């Protein structure tokens, strides 16, 4: 199992999604922990069972932009600098006090 980390703090278990079909379906299901989609510079919440938090990161997993409490059936705009996004259930960003500039890490 992989873990989403900030410094030495474990934020959540994380599932890495890298294939096209997986990315298309990723946020349309209930999320346990977090999902990391690579590559990703936009996403949607079509068919999502509830609200989600979305974190856009660069290739080094530095947080570029945060979208909190995104409703189902939405499409995000393109973020050209993003290379990865993290999706989690709504409230994740607030619970962990995530901010633009934070450096995240995925550890096995």
Strand ranges (E), 18-90: 34-37, 52-57, 63-70, 84-89
d(CA 34, CA 77): 21
**pLDDT tens-digit profile of 27-76?**
677 788 999 999 999 988 888 889 999 999 999 999 999 999 999 999 99
Torsion, Cα of 16, 20, 22, 25 (10° steps): 130
Task: Note if the bond before 39 is cis, omega within 30 degrees.
Answer: yes
Contact 78, 64 (CB under 8 A): no
pLDDT of 24: 67
The pTM of this model reads 0.91
pLDDT of 95: 97
SS3 106: strand
**pLDDT tens-digit profile of 67-99?**
999 999 999 999 999 999 999 999 999 999 999
Any residues with CB less than 8 A from the CB of 74 and at least 6 apart, and which?
44, 45, 46
């Amino acid at each position: 199992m992989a873990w989403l980390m900030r410094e030495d703090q474990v934020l959540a278990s994380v599932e890495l999604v890298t294939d096209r079909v997986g990315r298309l379906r990723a946020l349309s299901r209930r999320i346990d922990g977090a999902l990391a989609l690579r590559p990703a510079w936009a996403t949607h919440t079509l068919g999502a069972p509830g609200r989600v938090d979305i974190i856009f990161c660069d290739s080094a997993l530095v947080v570029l932009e945060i979208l909190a409490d995104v409703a189902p059936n939405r499409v995000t705009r393109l973020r050209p600098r993003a290379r990865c996004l993290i999706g989690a259930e709504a409230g994740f960003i607030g619970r962990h006090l995530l901010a633009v500039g934070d450096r995240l890490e995925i550890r096995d």
